[in-house]
Structure 1
Amino acid sequence: MNLGDYNDLEVARFVDFGLYLSSDDGDLLLPNKYVPEGTQLGDVVHVFVYRDSEDRLIATTLKPLARVNELAALTVRDVSEHGAFLDWGLEKDLFLPHRNQRNNVRPGQRLTVYVYLDETSDRIVASARWENFLQPDKPFEGKPGDAVQLFVAQETDLGYTAVVNGQYLGLLYYNEVFRPLRLGDTPTGYVRQVRPDGKIDLRLQKPGYEEAVDAADTLLNALRAAPNQRLPLSDKSEPDDIYRRLGMSKKVFKKALGSLYKQGLVELSPEHTQLVDKP
């Protein structure tokens, strides 16, 4: 059985307050409120296993915001002299010990943590020193322009620290960020360069010509789908309006607009962009 993860366990017996599931670590309770309707003796149930407030193994069909050995951005529910308690989507909050904190935290604060199983106590705990758990087996071998999966982990004076492909540290500079980001976001990013120290400079949009082609296609499809094939956007529009409608930065929008205009596909005005009907 995997503590802090999902398990497929067999129903061993029913009791008044739920049912017990059999495992190699003994039977564990699935309370009544989490028992799927129609469950019978001998059925196999997909459950998440953790410890309750009395440190007993317990099962739930709720889905936590993170499993063991995963990064997550979680909100602080409460603090005590021993540490903080984080909302991770289950009845019992996730414990963040003082020793695992960067700074003192406060209720309502959102922070990135790594969830792990403490070998000494056999308890699931969190660490705000999440970078200590990134252990890439080898140096990053990507090249500029490669698409990568990001986890937005921390905001800095320069931009946003992001975990690349679950293993490597990267940085999104503010001038490469054209839309709001929050901790825990997982956008697709693109490698700008790999620095000598192994850290990766990132961007949120495809580089160069490929970026412009994709943006032009996006804009053209949006125009075709718009009422009267007209969008209330122009090169005078606010960046937030452009992003909300098209999901691209104003800089990229202007490139796409210029491309379509040169092809004679759109008419421009200060207030809108109109698709041209081709004969």
Structure 2
Amino acid sequence: MSDITIALDAGHGGSDPGATYNGRAEKDDTLRLTRAVGKILEMNGINVYYVRDNDEYETPFKKATDANNSGADYFISIHRNSSEKNNQYSGIESLVYKDSGIRHTLAKNINKELADAGFEDLGITERPNLVVLKRTQMPAVLVEVGFINSDTDNKIFDENFNEIARAIADGILETVYSQTTKTDAPGTGSSPDIPANYSMPASPGISENPGMPACRCDEEGTKLYRIQTGAYRNKENADRMLDSLLIEGFPAFIISDDGYYKVQVGAFLYLTNAIKMEQRLRRFRYNTYIVYD
């Protein structure tokens, strides 16, 4: 096997169907296609880490964290696009944090192969606020494989499914084989103003910003300050709050405690850093208070 690992993410999942059209759900198309792409990569000697391999919901931040922890060299998230009006647009598109370096090469290669499989190529778009592009620590691309509310694109997707899977895999393989060393990684963005002693509790020892040292938050017996933005009996309400925080770039997570789903941000050794984060959250009009445990 190769020493290269590709993290493949099937967009959406579980309670989040993604875009839908005439009974068709994005989460089903992406899972089927991701599995097909993964099999081709594995047949070519590439290690594959499936960020989502079943019908379950994970937050975008959790997906990025899992991919980082897997040690993957590249991250590809597979989605299907949608538009306000049915049959308004058609074509494929790749999204990147910044259109440069290996990210650009990977997106360009995938787009070219998908165009050969029958889709119109809509190009590469920078989307620096997407969590799975911003928080991943390797070159990352989100591929929109046609519009799910386009009859033209759905026909291509269904009739040329094997060619589409091969196209994405070939675009990845072409990029991998053109690189002899890891460059452009950590490969996305970093979140401004996160204190230097911050570490995400769900992934101890992983620093949120490239080059930023992890704190001692994972040491047994260490008490931490966290900022709580809500406590809910209903998990869907907690998930909505979590998604709002993650979209705005906050390192948020959910803990289950005493029958409540508590949405919290950060894990700080020092109260002063927790206060700074709370002030940022309040500028975004979140109701907050600091907890200590």
TM > 0.5 fold call: no
Bigger RCO of structures 1 and 2 (CA < 8 A, at least 6 apart): 2
Q: Which has the higher strand share?
A: 1
Larger Rg: 1
Scaled by the length of structure 2, the TM-score of the pair is 0.23
Scaled by the length of structure 1, the TM-score of the pair is 0.24
